[in-house]
A and B are shown apart, each in its own frame.
Chain A
Amino acid sequence: MIRILPFPLLSLLLWLAWMLLNGFSWGHALLGLLLALLLPLATRPFWPNVPRLRNLPRLLRFLALVHWDIVVANLTVALLILRSPRRLRPAFVELPLALTDDFAITVLMSTISLTPGTVSADVSEDRATLLIHVLDVDDPEALVAEIKQRYERPLKEIFEC
């Protein structure tokens, strides 16, 4: 199974993408299936460490949460930008990482960057700390806690447990 379907999540993603691209027809469903199987196999050598999806429902919930956060925070940031920039309280914040998997860390960093007001600026060489730039922060500690709570924990569940 692993041989044929080394990355089920990826295959699923590819198949969905194919169907999105082409619209539904049986022919495309088949062709999409073929591609969804073949392409991961073909690119197998490029995946030295296979990220393992452990909790699909959690992932879906996580995605919904992120999208909601993006929308909400966008409004906040819009206001921040339009107000006088002088009132901003920017900060570089370090976030100690609990995640160990590269893929999971990347997803976390992407999430942070995608949600308004924060950008993942860097990750330490030992993968222990994340550097985040924040647009406007009152209490960096609280922010770190929130990120860990809101994003890191679900990700740990999705990819690592």
Chain B
Amino acid sequence: MDSLVEFLVAAFILLGAAFALIGSIGLARLPDFYLRLHGPTKASTLGVGGMIMASLLFFSWQAQTLQLQEVLIVLFLFITAPVSAHMLAKAAMHRGLARRKDTKGRPWKQ
């Protein structure tokens, strides 16, 4: 395998994995639900994105043709992930989950 491609693949893998982890760290350590909501829905998105990039590169290189199948994963995830986040935010607001005291503005009543 071409070392440049291999480097890129490795980099994307590490990038993706790192973002996956960072998102999950956010989920684990941020202090209120609304804040935690940001971790996964973003970092994980790029986490998956990084992996997909790695995969695209890797398989395209292996096959020596463009392999774009994985793009669909990103497409679907980008369509669906905001829905989860939105629905969970609504649920949290409905339940009146506590937000950090210094949060500006206020959630809406459901």
Contacts and interface: CB of A to CB of B under 8 A. Distances in A.
In the complex they form, whether A and B have CB atoms below 8 Å apart is answered with yes
Interface of A: 17, 20-21, 23, 70-71, 73-74, 77-78, 81-82, 85, 88-94, 109-110, 112-117, 119-122, 124, 131, 133, 135, 137, 140
A74 B43 contact: yes
B7 interface: no
Given A70-B45, A77-B43, A140-B104, A113 B86 contact: yes
Given A77-B42, A113-B82, A122-B108, A89 B90 contact: no
Contact of B85 (A17, A85, A90, A119): A119
Interface of B: 19, 22-23, 25-26, 29-32, 34-35, 37-39, 41-43, 45-46, 49, 67-69, 71-72, 75, 78-79, 81-83, 85-86, 89-90, 93, 99-100, 102-108, 110
Given A21-B69, A116-B38, A137 B104 contact: yes
A63 to B, nearest CB: 10
Given A89-B102, A121-B107, A71 B46 contact: yes
Q: Is the interface of B mostly helix, strand, loop or mixed?
A: helix
A71 B47 CA distance: 10
Q: Which 7 A-B pairs have the closest CB atoms?
A: A92-B105, A91-B104, A113-B82, A81-B26, A110-B82, A121-B89, A116-B42
Contacts of B78: 110, 114
Contacts, number: 131
- Most B C-beta atoms less than 10 A away, residue of A21, A82, A85, A140: A85
B45 A90 contact: no
Nearest to B92: A121
